Structure 1
């Protein structure tokens, strides 16, 4: 369990550090090109979720995040003890959810900064990456678990 919570804390720390550096070094709405036509950093504020959906609905985000964090912690303690893949996926999701939650509590918006210049994609942050990776790992776990269960049924 210590591994899982340590990973979540590291993700939260990295997320908050990159947001602090963005706010303190890049003027709002300004862009710093890092790898031409590939990657830049833009100081952006998002009052919604992905693609700015549900903008300004902070109470909704507070409630949803508290519920999600509670569910993730519950499953981290039950399933995380049984399988490291689901434990890692849940701890990564936990770190991402809390990282963005901190912003919503403090600023009433989420600081985003990573911009992919080669594709039309929303600006995002480390917490968003963690949430995406965590959900991806959870999908892999669910597929593997389904295969295991199928093999058990066939073997009976």
Structure 2
């Protein structure tokens, strides 16, 4: 049942991502990152770019590499879930967020060879990104915080060796 909820979460993320990309492609001309719709002035605007690389156009034109890395991620994730290495609900929710975002961008890469990005922050020099990127980043950040600070083995009380002190 819980895995079905996780699959539905990932599917909703893919749907939201693909819908926002469709809205962008349909209603906003390609602008190479300049402002088109001032969503929240001084905070972010909506634009329309095609990115064949990763953030800051790293590895531009290496679509095959991104497809391969995403496929390997899904294979490893499937094996870890099947072998019951990953069982904690919070970890699995984070991974569903990452998987949904990764699948959303994978669809773009396979269909058009580039990812549609549309959200540009105005207060910092940051790459234009999309909804899928938001979920990948948030899922990764939450997973890292969880693993570093909350996923600790419970300390058992020190064992008594039977000697009186």
Taking structure 1 as the reference length, what is the TM-score of the superposition? 0.90
Describe the SS at the equivalent of 2:101: helix
Equivalent-residue separation in structure 2 for 1:109 and 1:21 (angstroms): 16
Alignment of 1:102-141 (within 5 A): 102-141=107-146
Structure with greater proportional helix content: 1
Q: CA deviation at 1:112?
A: 0.2
Unpaired stretches in structure 2, ≥5 consecutive residues: 160-165
CA RMSD of aligned residues (A): 1.6
* Distance in 2 (alpha carbons) for counterparts of 1:73 and 1:14: 23
Alignment of 1:1-150 (within 5 A): 1-29=3-31, 31-77=36-82, 78-80=84-86, 82-143=87-148, 144-145=150-151, 147-148=152-153
Q: Which structure would you say has the larger Rg?
A: 2
Give every structure 1 segment of 4 or more consecutive aligned residues whose post-TM-superposition deviation is greater than 2 Å. Answer: 72-80
In 1, Cα distance between equivalents of 2:128 and 2:72: 26
| Count of aligned positions | 152
Offset of residue 60 of structure 1: 1.0
Give 1:138 deviation, angstroms: 1.4
Secondary structure of the corresponding residue to residue 117 of structure 2: strand
Output the CA distance in 1 between the equivalents of 2:158 and 2:26: 60
Cα deviation for residue 37 of structure 1 reads 1.5
C-alpha contact (below 8 Å) 1:79/1:87 kept by paired residues: no
Normalised TM-score (structure 2): 0.85
Q: What is the Cα deviation at residue 48 of structure 1?
A: 0.3
Aligned counterparts of 2:81 and 2:135: Cα–Cα separation in 1: 16
